[in-house]
Structure 1
Amino acid sequence: MAEEKITYILDTNILLHEPFAFLSFKEHDVVVPMTVLEELDSIKDRKKDVSRDARVAIRALEDTLQDATPEEVLAGVKLPENSSEQATGHLSIFNDYTLDSTASTLTFNENDNRIIACALHIQEQKQPHKVVLVTKDINMRLKAKGAGLAHVEDYRTDQLIDDIQFLTKGYYRFEGEFWQQVKDCESETEGRNTTHYVSRDILPQTYINEYLVDQTNEFAGKVVNYDDEKLAVLDLGYERLMGKNAWGIHPKNIYQGMALDALLDPSIDLVILTGPAGCGKTLLALASALEQVVERGLYDKVIVTRSTPEIAESIGFLPGTEEEKMAPWLAAITDSLEVLHKQDENMSSSMNYIMEKANIQFKSVNFMRGRSIQNAFVLLDECQNLTASQLKTIITRCGEGTKLVVSGNLAQIDSNYLTALTSGLTYIVERFKDFPGSSTINLNGVVRSNLASFAEENL
């Protein structure tokens, strides 16, 4: 029995969040109210990070509707098909400006109310068929329900998880002692490395490069391979992890030990560090960068970049070169450099020397598109405010011999269009969790100070 065709009415924020969202409703009808087009038009010329998304959405709608007559646009134009799915739904534009404001329960002086009135009108027209308003605006969802709209939904096709507590942490902590849970084990030693082959039953849900620790703080390992029956666990040694060192920095807890192991491993091209403010994400990444560029000569330079919602319009008026303009936003990096060199006799001279020696370059995310970065250690800080497509733009810049460290705190999202579930950081953690060339670590625990720790837990 064929599924009943549903009519979806899209709010503006859906097309800003994902410009091609209307193509996701393959077998259902999609309606875009005229008010949404008006809002996209007003946003496309603003100097905001969403203006590009507005322009992309407008072009995508135009591509779909360009050959249609006005009558067909109102009635519905067949959605384009791709190779994997057959589209049976239609896309139409609804002129909500023709609705009689006196017949509506809502005032028409707000765009949100016009879109809700449009949805109510279509719901009345299409009875008993299902009509759904799709919006990411929580308040608009409440208003729509209050106005009598039967079905209101969030747009969730980009969400890989339903609850942020299920986000991959990058490690698994066993209750009690690890070896007490292992019934059968074969070990293989090659040089300094010992790999244990244990039954998959002890950890049915696992992925490549997941770290394994236990409550006794005696075992630490990493999943390097698996099949339906066996796990291949590289024995890292708890003490060896805690003894890791990068540019004079030693881990203060096992999570930092795991992070340093991933950061210093040349076979891992992408390290994703998540966790609360003060857990050491930036300091560990910078120390590892200096260690591998200056001491080991594995990379030629360090490129530091970060996203702030205001960079697009605010960077221009600041004096100086691109690097000098970026300095206020990259204070976290210079703060970390000060920590690494505070014992030096002349700290400012040491910092200047190291910045030159390690060839540390500060770059704006806006200028990363189109580049190809070779043999560099790239630090992308504060990336919780980036969308999945923005992160893809940066990750695909990384050429041969480049290591990318992505860090962010999902509790500090500043963007109006993102939540912890839809952030690009959450997206890449889930997408890359089983990729052999990447490692994710959730740095669980604030090490900044007792004050910072108390604030993180209680405010």
Structure 2
Amino acid sequence: MSKKGGQKSKNEGIVVDTNVLIHDPNAIFKLREKGETLYIPYVVIQELDGLKSRPDIGFDANEVASKIEKIRQVKEPSLVVVSKIKFEGLEQLDPREPDDRIIATAQCVKNDMGRWHNRIVLVSRDKIMRLKAREILKDVEVEDYEKDSSKEAGPSLIKEINVSKEKLREDKNGNFFFFYQPLKHGDVEENGGIICYSDVYGSWDKAFVAIRKGDHCWVIPPDVRAFGISPLERNGDGPNWEQCLALWQLLDKEIKLVFLQGGAGTGKTLLAVAAGLEQLRDYRQIVIARPMVHLEDEDNVGYLKGDLEAKMAPWLKPLHQALGFLSEISEKNSKIIKDKLENQKITFESLDYIRGTTYRKTFLIIDEAQNLTPHQFKTIITRAGEGTKMVFTGDIGQIDRRRRLTSRSNGLTYSIDRLRGDILVGVTVFNKTVRSDLADLAERLL
């Protein structure tokens, strides 16, 4: 490696790991936005080639490769592919291991190019990689990629306020509301929920949940239902206010994007599927997808037998269970679901297919969304055509890609943080498990 020409002032030299580029293909630009020089180890190119056919992330690998090729074609000096590395003094590293080759590349950049930079930084989303690199590298800083991390580790629970019965009003259609007063009620986002203590039924207690629309907070009817299900109480512990709010957001035609975030057994997926079926006359089809990520992020997809549909089957089982539960409610439900599946009005798709298609008048459900990156969220949401509603469900406490995603950097947290409060967006955070006493115990204490 050699540096040609003069340089007025030193800049940063950044060596990037593969997982950063897969996490955010635009990192190619973000890591150079302040004049930095980006060094891409040759093994990163090799890894991108190996990932290009992988479900869920193959789309990102191909996108990164295209960006790198375009930049290299114009001979942009701020992006350098490093193909020659040395392992002298790095005996701890195994030249056969891609991570070790990336670490070695960072040291070589420091040794050969350090005089041109005020510091050399290795950027990786992999905690183990960062740990190894800090123990081995000399005069090279090691950092996580945080260009798209949220400040908060997930959205907050539904706000609780007091509303006396004298403050309630009724419109001509029999809907109840009260006026939103920011100084009194505090900060409540658009389409946000408010659990209300009130004396409307006599003594003061939790009486209803409302949704904010502009300067009005509308009381959500306690009998809200969708496709035969209603908010589920368990053990007589009172109404499930979170499910009331979520179901209302899912049925609200003015809300085009819904985020449902909460622990296992809170009813997120079932509510989303039921709401889609309830509104099928308003949409051409229901499309359901979830990331094909194994527990602990083990990549076994290629070892599963069959075509892509067969490979997807294990991930789709919870969604089929939701449809099965709804089918058992009534014979009418069962016939509707069977007919819609046979006529492909309910379909299951891979995320790569979704990210390459425009959806019009579609009710689109993305389950287990905590395993998506912010970039993947963007590429999915931007596929929404006219008349489409999107629903993302997930639990930031059950991230399977834990070496690369955290409660702050996953796409669900990031997207909620960026989009909440818009008139098109509704967010519900669940705090009550309804699956069973055992599931509730595990969710609270483990």
If the TM-score is normalised by the length of the shorter chain, which range does it land in?
0.7 to 0.9
Letter in 1 for 2:317: A
Unaligned stretches of 5+ residues in structure 1: 69-76, 79-89, 226-231
Q: For 1:421 and 1:14, how far apart are their aligned partners in 2? A: 15
Q: For 1:433 and 1:315, how far apart are their aligned partners in 2? A: 40
Q: For 2:336 and 2:171, how far apart are their aligned partners in 1? A: 42
Letter in 2 for 1:249: I
Aligned to 1:72: none
Q: For 1:61 and 1:330, how far apart are their aligned partners in 2? A: 35
Which of 184, 188, 195 is equivalent to 1:202?
184
Q: For 1:210 and 1:347, how far apart are their aligned partners in 2? A: 31
Aligned to 1:303: 287
Aligned to 2:26: 20
Structure 1 residues 325 and 202 mapped into 2: Cα distance closer, same or farther (>3 Å)? same
Higher relative contact order structure (alpha carbons within 8 Å, sequence separation ≥ 6): 2
| Deviations 1:166-211 (CA, angstroms, capped at 9, x unpaired) | x22473224xx3459x9xx896845434553343223554421111
Q: For 2:9 and 2:157, how far apart are their aligned partners in 1? A: 39
1:287: Cα distance to partner?
A: 1.8
1:15: Cα distance to partner?
A: 1.9
1:433: Cα distance to partner?
A: 0.4
CA contact (8 A) 1:119 1:133 kept: yes
Q: For 2:116 and 2:311, how far apart are their aligned partners in 1? A: 57
CA contact (8 A) 1:315 1:325 kept: no
Is residue 53 from structure 1 mapped to residue 60 from structure 2 by the alignment? yes
CA contact (8 A) 1:15 1:21 kept: yes
| Deviations 1:13-47 (CA, angstroms, capped at 9, x unpaired) | 22222223132132242242534445435525554
Q: For 1:406 and 1:114, how far apart are their aligned partners in 2? A: 37
CA contact (8 A) 2:24 2:373 kept: no
* Partner SS for 2:216: strand
* Partner SS for 1:146: helix
Aligned to 2:326: 340
1:255: Cα distance to partner?
A: 0.4
Structure 1 residues 403 and 65 mapped into 2: Cα distance closer, same or farther (>3 Å)? closer
Aligned to 1:229: none
Q: For 2:344 and 2:28, how far apart are their aligned partners in 1? A: 47
Which of 273, 296, 299 is equivalent to 2:260?
273
1:409: Cα distance to partner?
A: 2.0
Q: For 2:421 and 2:247, how far apart are their aligned partners in 1? A: 19
* Partner SS for 1:283: helix
* Partner SS for 1:276: coil
Q: For 2:22 and 2:356, how far apart are their aligned partners in 1? A: 22
- The equivalences for 1:145-164 within 5 A come to 145-147=134-136, 148-149=138-139, 151-159=141-149, 161-164=150-153
Aligned to 1:87: none
Aligned to 2:79: 91
Is residue 444 from structure 1 mapped to residue 431 from structure 2 by the alignment? yes
Aligned to 2:127: 138
Letter in 2 for 1:255: E
Q: For 1:326 and 1:12, how far apart are their aligned partners in 2? A: 25
Between the aligned residues of both structures, percent identity stands at 30
* Partner SS for 1:103: coil
* Partner SS for 1:272: strand
Q: For 2:58 and 2:283, how far apart are their aligned partners in 1? A: 36
CA contact (8 A) 1:170 1:211 kept: no
Q: For 1:18 and 1:435, how far apart are their aligned partners in 2? A: 24
* Partner SS for 1:218: strand
Structure 1 residues 38 and 354 mapped into 2: Cα distance closer, same or farther (>3 Å)? closer
Q: For 1:373 and 1:23, how far apart are their aligned partners in 2? A: 29
Which of 398, 402, 420 is equivalent to 2:407?
420
Aligned to 1:211: 193
1:331: Cα distance to partner?
A: 2.4
1:233: Cα distance to partner?
A: 3.1
CA contact (8 A) 2:209 2:244 kept: no
Q: For 2:132 and 2:357, how far apart are their aligned partners in 1? A: 45
Aligned to 1:389: 375
CA contact (8 A) 2:42 2:81 kept: no
Aligned to 1:81: none
Q: For 1:41 and 1:219, how far apart are their aligned partners in 2? A: 52
Q: For 2:310 and 2:103, how far apart are their aligned partners in 1? A: 47
* Partner SS for 1:107: coil
Letter in 2 for 1:65: R
Structure 1 residues 56 and 173 mapped into 2: Cα distance closer, same or farther (>3 Å)? same
Structure 1 residues 286 and 66 mapped into 2: Cα distance closer, same or farther (>3 Å)? closer
CA contact (8 A) 2:227 2:333 kept: no
1:432: Cα distance to partner?
A: 1.9
Which of 362, 375, 380 is equivalent to 2:361?
375
Is residue 7 from structure 1 mapped to residue 5 from structure 2 by the alignment? no
- The equivalences for 1:13-412 within 5 A come to 13-24=19-30, 25-40=32-47, 42-44=49-51, 47-68=54-75, 77-78=76-77, 90-97=78-85, 99=86, 101-104=87-90, 106-109=92-95, 110-123=97-110, 125-126=114-115, 129-147=118-136, 148-149=138-139, 151-159=141-149, 161-164=150-153, 167-169=154-156, 171-174=158-161, 177-178=162-163, 189=171, 191-202=173-184, 205-214=187-196, 216-225=205-214, 232-236=215-219, 240=221, 242-252=222-232, 253-293=240-280, 297-309=281-293, 317-318=305-306, 327-342=313-328, 344=330, 351-353=337-339, 355=341, 359-412=345-398
Q: For 1:324 and 1:104, how far apart are their aligned partners in 2? A: 44
Structure 1 residues 403 and 41 mapped into 2: Cα distance closer, same or farther (>3 Å)? closer
Is residue 430 from structure 1 mapped to residue 417 from structure 2 by the alignment? yes
Q: TM-score, normalised by structure 1?
A: 0.77
Q: For 2:67 and 2:303, how far apart are their aligned partners in 1? A: 30
Structure 1 residues 200 and 142 mapped into 2: Cα distance closer, same or farther (>3 Å)? same
| Deviations 1:76-115 (CA, angstroms, capped at 9, x unpaired) | x44xxxxxxxxxxx33344552x3x333464353443343
Matched residues, number: 415
CA contact (8 A) 1:308 1:385 kept: no
Q: For 1:118 and 1:323, how far apart are their aligned partners in 2? A: 40
* Partner SS for 1:141: helix
